[in-house]
Structure 1
Amino acid sequence: MGYRQFKSKLARVIYDDEVVDADCEKLFHCDWHKANSACALVERGKAVMFKYREWELVFKQYHRGGLAGRLVEKSYLYSRLPNTRVWREFNMLRAMRELGLPVPRPVAARCVSLPPLAYRGALITERVPDSRTLTQVLCDRPVDNAQWSKLGALIARFHQKNVYHADLNASNILLTGSGDFYLIDFDKGSIRNSLSRQDADANVARLRRSLDKLQKRHSEFHFSEDNWQALESAYRAAVAD
């Protein structure tokens, strides 16, 4: 049991054979999702929740191509498959789980060649049971300061393991019914040899900006300066250890 790979005419697939098997490529097709999930349209960057066998899974599709892709990378597909966003996120999730960090289980990834220079990718992860984003929770109810402190300490754990989250915002944090936090969506993130204090602080500042924006956007949004002080104090104490 473990991670396996296979190659079709234009695609490469990696998958966790404890969850799916070699016929898992069908799970990456829009027609399959239209027929087997509540989502009528699969859009790039939008998560689709679906059930396969006994597993609750999440599908995310994204791609790199066009002018931006050509400017950033002249030639990378397949000869440099590990550098594609989808492969990097899949393997980053694997590595973080090995480090004991609370992130979704990676189930499968697919990278499709779009000659001559572009690719399209999609990622499937296990859905974190009984969870909602922090954004959804705060639109509904307050989170007590003990939980904010727990979140601050958790972010510190990621940083102590040299994990950089490229977009740490309230919608990329999950809170379960039992009070556990998970971080999600590590597209463009990285596990570095050493995470600088500047980049770690930028992660925390990014989260604060997202909370402030959400508070302005929603008439009912349960976030206060006191909450932030609880998070930041726990974070600073944890990174100082």
Structure 2
Amino acid sequence: MIQTIHVDNIYVQYDDQLMPKDVFDCFSSGFWQQQQKIIGSAQGRGTTWFVQLDRVQAALRHYRRGGLFAKIVSDHYFFINWGKTRSIAEFNLLEVLNQSGVNVPRPIAAKVQKKGFFYQADILSEKIPEAADLLDILQQRSLTIQEYQAIGLQIKKMHQAQVNHTDLNIHNILLDKTGKVWLIDFDKCYQQSSKNWQAANLERLLRSFNKELRKRAIKWQASDWQYLIAGYMA
């Protein structure tokens, strides 16, 4: 069950079936290092820490800005209300997608710490074990027709949940060792009631395939796109 704790300037939302009791400590990588639960890390705008919980593996991420503005303000955002903060919004969207049957990481816990007119944010979400993104896979092999159709089906389910993935690209689609398709990275994504944005989502993904074909010579050809669309239309 999703629980909420609001103490002074700190707001935490968490799944009490996945989250350990130390809910306030869980957003510190040092806490997990002391517990000897760190199982890996990845570098992006900052360090994402992978930790082992009792029931699942999790990814701990601190929200950081990108672009030139990040050199001035790296991790502070203007506060409007708790629900519109980056971590709580992503947590809630992942919960909507899970309830809609879309294969996305389960949200585990999200934290917001308000500081005057600004806030900092962190999120702990499920890490999909033994999974690789499409870029890594397509540098090694071609996808099967069935895999493309499965990708199209997951995108369709996401669209049926009225979720606009504003950065849908081949980095944000995973295949695990069983061939299950996962969609990830829903920061700054949102639900949208109209349908005119759905084609733009697909066009963005198509541009991503073509970009990586030119840049890294991935094992993909234009005719593969029809299989993904077939899965989407099924």
Q: What TM-score comes out, normalization by structure 2 length? A: 0.85
Question: Which residue of structure 1 aligns with residue 51 of structure 2?
Answer: 50
- Report if aligned partners of 2:3, 2:16 keep a CA contact under 8 Å in 1: yes
Question: Which residue of structure 1 aligns with residue 115 of structure 2?
Answer: 114
The percentage of aligned residue pairs carrying the same residue is 27
The Cα offsets for residues 145-203 of structure 1, whole Å up to 9 and x where unpaired, read as 221122112212211221111111111111111111111111111123x2323x10111
Question: Which residue of structure 1 aligns with residue 26 of structure 2?
Answer: 27
Question: Which residue of structure 2 aligns with residue 205 of structure 1?
Answer: 203
Question: Which residue of structure 1 aligns with residue 230 of structure 2?
Answer: 233
Specify the SS of the correspondent of 1:21. Answer: coil
Query: Relative to total residues, which structure has the larger helix share, 1 or 2?
Result: 1
Stretches of structure 2 that go unaligned for 5 or more consecutive residues are: none
- Counterparts of 2:48 and 2:206 in 1: how far apart (Å)? 24
Matched residue type, 1:222: K
Stretches of structure 1 that go unaligned for 5 or more consecutive residues are: none
Following superposition, which runs of at least 4 residues in structure 1 exceed 6 angstroms of deviation?
40-43, 64-70
- Report if aligned partners of 1:172, 1:185 keep a CA contact under 8 Å in 2: yes
- Counterparts of 2:140 and 2:32 in 1: how far apart (Å)? 30
Larger mean Cα displacement after TM superposition, 51-60 or 177-186: 51-60
Larger mean Cα displacement after TM superposition, 119-128 or 29-38: 29-38
Distance 1:81 1:176, change over 3 A: same
- Report if aligned partners of 2:42, 2:49 keep a CA contact under 8 Å in 1: no
Question: Which residue of structure 2 aligns with residue 13 of structure 1?
Answer: 12
Number of aligned residue pairs: give it: 227
Specify the SS of the correspondent of 1:140. Answer: coil
Q: Write out aligned runs for 1:140-151 (5 A).
A: 140-151=140-151
How far off is 1:3 after superposition?
1.6
- Counterparts of 2:199 and 2:82 in 1: how far apart (Å)? 31
Specify the SS of the correspondent of 1:24. Answer: coil
